[in-house]
């Protein structure tokens, strides 16, 4: 994505002028008669997404006009790299830092391609970095989002538990952090029994990656990501349609990794911990069985009501470990329930939180950067649906209703939610249909929102809310 930018204009660089619909008529009156006639003949009115190429006397493009509409969205810029003629463009007009960031983020996201197995055949226009742009921020955002998308898009054969934990090792090395990986039967000796139980039937051993970074004296921030590299459903086997996209079931881990990278690249003053339980929910003779009972890391016993509700099992051990340090904030990310998709659709992650202050802050950050979430309730009365006759709780509710809520309530059992701030994000992590800047495939939904919220929380400035 960074290849679609240039450091400076060339002799043939084309000026690119963004215009709002409400400003267009006044601007048009100031243009020459011939220019105004050309623009009118092309039907350009600066509506959202419109483009008009204004020619010079020699027939070349003298200026490219871009309609912004009257809203603000980074994705309104995402179609430009492929729609504009190949060449170099530079923004003109009143370009402040906010507009520069919006334009460059949208432009970069519009050029993302997953090219691990097939070389790109597309060509894109190039944008000169605007002077007002916080280039470091845009570069770390694009790189982190690109990393997360690539992880989700990679098939499970190449993005197995061993490969996923190696990504965390590499991230620790890149930012001079520390990483410990516990794998296979060592999970039992280190007391991560549910991570082991879910992943023990697979060829690639289950593992837990534990990254630490930052000054130990800074506020503790712990991120947890569901890393189910492929979910067959286990012995409660999915049907072919339900299994087809299950390489994306580590989308929570990919999102947590992306957010962690954004935190470290921004050098936020936090003591970061990233916990990624990585497994494949496979079928074999030693796979966990329906109605097995597992004693979790916290000591609570869980009856396996359904082996396809495995994500919450691996998360519960990681959350229990995160909770022991009483961090300032715990955030977990998971492709956890179809119920959240039924409630909110595929593009809007569900947010659950034990504390209104961090929930409100994250919602506000999501709106500010165009990466929205929607809060659902932790309705205490539904906790009864997780009751088991033989264990402390079941991993599946005894009702088909409110599945996203009961899953969140299950996870809440493993954090001291009345004391420690906790956020749970239930995400699709996948675009079913492509749009500019959001191609079909893997997506780290809410990563930009989380980065913005964490920036405001841990490095507040005069113009942001602490």
Indicate the DSSP class of residue 434: -
pLDDT for residue 412: 98
Q: How would DSSP label each residue in 150-202?
A: HHHHS-TTTS-HHHHHHHHHHHHHHTT-EEEEEETTHHHHTT-HHHHHHHTTS
pLDDT class for 466, splitting at 50, 70, 90? very low
pLDDT for residue 419: 84
Mean pLDDT of all residues in 433-445: 97
Is the model's pLDDT at 464 over the cut of 50?
no
Whole-angstrom distance, CA of residue 74 vs CA of residue 158:
32
Is 238 among the catalytic positions? yes
Quick check: 84 and 107 in contact, CB under 8 A?
Answer: no
Mean pLDDT of all residues in 211-218: 98
Q: Which residues pair with 186 in a beta bridge?
A: none
Q: What angle (nearest 5°) sits at the alpha carbon of residue 227, between those of residues 222 and 229?
A: 165
Integer distance in angstroms from the first to the last C-alpha of the chain?
A: 32
Is the model's pLDDT at 383 over the cut of 90?
yes
Mean pLDDT of all residues in 299-305: 98
pLDDT for residue 465: 42
Is 312 among the catalytic positions? yes
pLDDT for residue 57: 85
pLDDT for residue 460: 83
pLDDT class for 379, splitting at 50, 70, 90? very high
pTM of the model: 0.96
Q: Of 68, 312, 341, 456, which one is the catalytic site residue?
A: 312
pLDDT for residue 420: 87
Percent of the chain topping pLDDT 70: 99
Whole-angstrom distance, CA of residue 122 vs CA of residue 81:
10
pLDDT one-digit tens code per residue, 42-57: 999 999 999 999 999 8
Element (H, E) at 264: helix 251-265
Mean pLDDT of all residues in 303-307: 98
pLDDT for residue 121: 87
pLDDT one-digit tens code per residue, 317-328: 999 999 999 999
Is the model's pLDDT at 462 over the cut of 80?
no
Whole-angstrom distance, CA of residue 132 vs CA of residue 395:
51
Domains in the chain and their CATH numbers?
2-133 (3.40.220.10), 138-458 (3.40.630.10)
Is the model's pLDDT at 463 over the cut of 80?
no
Is the model's pLDDT at 58 over the cut of 90?
no
pLDDT class for 187, splitting at 50, 70, 90? very high
Is the model's pLDDT at 212 over the cut of 70?
yes
pLDDT one-digit tens code per residue, 225-279: 999 999 999 999 999 999 999 999 999 999 999 999 999 999 999 999 999 999 9
Average pLDDT, the chain: 96
Mean pLDDT of all residues in 156-177: 98
> Closest Cα partner for 457 from 370, 371, 328?
328
* Pairing assessment for the beta strands 430-431 and 441-442 based on DSSP bridges: antiparallel
Mean pLDDT of all residues in 348-364: 97
- 145 φ, ψ to 5°? -65, -40
pLDDT one-digit tens code per residue, 412-436: 999 997 888 999 999 999 999 999 9
Q: Of 20, 45, 186, 238, which one is the catalytic site residue?
A: 238
């Amino acid at each position: 994505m960074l290849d679609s930018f240039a450091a400076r204009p060339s002799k043939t660089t084309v000026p690119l002028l963004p215009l709002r619909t409400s400003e267009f008529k006044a601007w048009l009156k100031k243009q020459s008669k011939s220019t105004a006639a050309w623009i009118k003949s092309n039907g350009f009115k600066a509506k959202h997404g419109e483009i008009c190429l204004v020619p010079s006397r020699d027939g070349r493009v003298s200026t490219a006009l871009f309609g912004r509409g009257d809203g603000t969205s980074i994705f309104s810029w995402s179609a430009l790299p492929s729609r504009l003629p190949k060449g170099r463009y530079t923004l003109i007009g009143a370009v402040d830092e906010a507009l520069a960031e919006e334009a460059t983020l949208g432009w970069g996201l519009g050029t993302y391609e997953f090219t691990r197995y097939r070389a790109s055949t597309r060509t894109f226009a190039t944008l000169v970095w605007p002077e007002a742009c916080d280039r470091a921020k845009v570069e770390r955002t694009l790189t982190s989002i690109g990393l997360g998308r690539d992880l989700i898009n990679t098939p499970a054969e190449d993005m197995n538990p061993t490969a996923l934990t190696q990504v965390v090792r590499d991230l620790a090395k890149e930012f001079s952090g520390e990483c410990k990986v516990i794998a296979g039967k060592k999970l039992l000796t280190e007391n991560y029994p549910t991570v082991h139980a879910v992943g023990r039937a697979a060829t690639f051993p289950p593992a837990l990656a534990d990254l630490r970074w930052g000054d130990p004296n800074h506020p503790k921030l712990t991120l947890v990501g569901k890393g189910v590299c492929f979910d067959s459903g286990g012995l409660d086997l999915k049907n072919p349609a339900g299994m087809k996209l299950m390489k994306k079931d580590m989308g929570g881990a990919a999102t947590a990794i992306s957010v962690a990278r954004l935190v470290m690249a921004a050098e936020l003053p936090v003591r970061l911990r990233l916990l990624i339980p990585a497994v494949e929910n496979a079928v074999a003779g030693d796979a966990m069985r329906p109605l097995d009972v597992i004693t979790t890391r916290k000591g609570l016993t869980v009856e396996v009501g359904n082996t396809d509700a495995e994500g919450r099992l691996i998360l519960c051990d990681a959350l229990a470990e995160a909770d022991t340090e009483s961090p300032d904030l715990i955030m977990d990310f998971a492709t956890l329930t179809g119920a959240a998709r039924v409630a909110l659709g595929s593009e809007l992650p569900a947010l659950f939180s034990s504390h209104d202050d961090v929930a409100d802050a994250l919602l506000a950050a999501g709106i500010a950067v165009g990466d929205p979430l929607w809060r659902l309730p932790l309705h205490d009365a539904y906790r009864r649906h997780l009751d088991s006759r033989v264990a402390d709780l079941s991993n599946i509710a005894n009702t088909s209703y409110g599945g996203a809520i009961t899953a969140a309530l299950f996870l809440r059992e493993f954090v001291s939610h009345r004391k420690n701030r906790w956020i749970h994000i239930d995400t699709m992590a996948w675009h079913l249909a492509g749009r500019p800047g959001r191609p079909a495939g893997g997506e780290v939904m809410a990563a930009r929102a989380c980065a913005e919220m964490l920036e405001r929380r841990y490095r507040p400035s005069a113009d942001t809310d602490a």
